[in-house]
Structures are given as C-alpha cells and as structure tokens.
Amino acid sequence: MQSISGIIYLILIACLLPYVFTVIAKKTAGFKARDNQNPREFLGKTTGLAARAHAVQQNSFESLPLFIAAILMAEYMVVQQTVIMTFGMAYIVFRIMYGICYLANWATLRSIVWLLSLLCPICLLILVIKLT
C-alpha cells in the first residue's frame, strides 16, 4: 500500500486554496461584518480586483471535484506515488499561478495556466484508464 499522507496534503491544500481568494476578494472589497447577512450578493456586486478574486474562488471550487476524483482514483489503482505527487503538485502550482494571473488581469496567460491545471487530473485519469 502506498503512503497516502502526501495525497492527503495535496487534497487539503487544493480544498483550502479557494478560501485564500475569498479572503482577498473580501479584503479588497471592504467586506464588513454587516455584509455577512448576504455575502454572495455582496461579492457578486464587486468590481476590479475583488471581482477577479471572487472569480478565482469560484473557479477553484469548480475544479476541485475533478482533481479529488483523479487523485483518489490514481491512489486506488496504485499509480506510482511519484506520478500522483508530481501531477498533484503541478496542479496546485498551476492553480496558484492561475489565481495570480487572474488577479493581475493577464487573461491570455490565465487561460493557458488554467488549461495546464486542467490537464493534471486528466492525465492522472488517463493513467488510471490504462491500468484497467
């Protein structure tokens, strides 16, 4: 049985990453305690950096199911640990880069990095398919 602790850390980091961008969105938009009555409405009305940070947060949550499924399936099918960790760490790095590109408003580079982050779990799933 492979060591799973590294995989747990990858999943934990991926799950916490969207919240980093939530904090950035709220801080740059001047979020106050009174806004907590309807935070989604508040964030939906933001512009500029806060709106971009909110978009990163949403996209980060949207990409999580594919990543988690790919990591867990690769572990279940006993894909080499180094391969799982390499694709998993690449995904995390690309997601951080994606967030930076989005915040900086670098649309083309953001799209390229988004695609690279998407390819990480897809490659893992292709390896899983080849093992079946």
* First-last CA distance in the chain: 18
Structural domains of the chain ordered from first start = 5-131 (1.20.120.550)
The whole-chain average pLDDT of the chain stands at 93
Backbone dihedral region for residue 30 (phi beyond 0: left; psi -120 to 50: alpha; all else: beta) = left
Tens of pLDDT, residue by residue over 28-71, are 988 887 778 888 888 888 999 999 999 999 999 999 999 999 99
Which of 65, 61, 59, 54 has its CA nearest to residue 23?
A: 54
Instruction: Give pLDDT, residue 1.
Output: 45
Q: What secondary structure letter does DSSP report for 131?
A: H
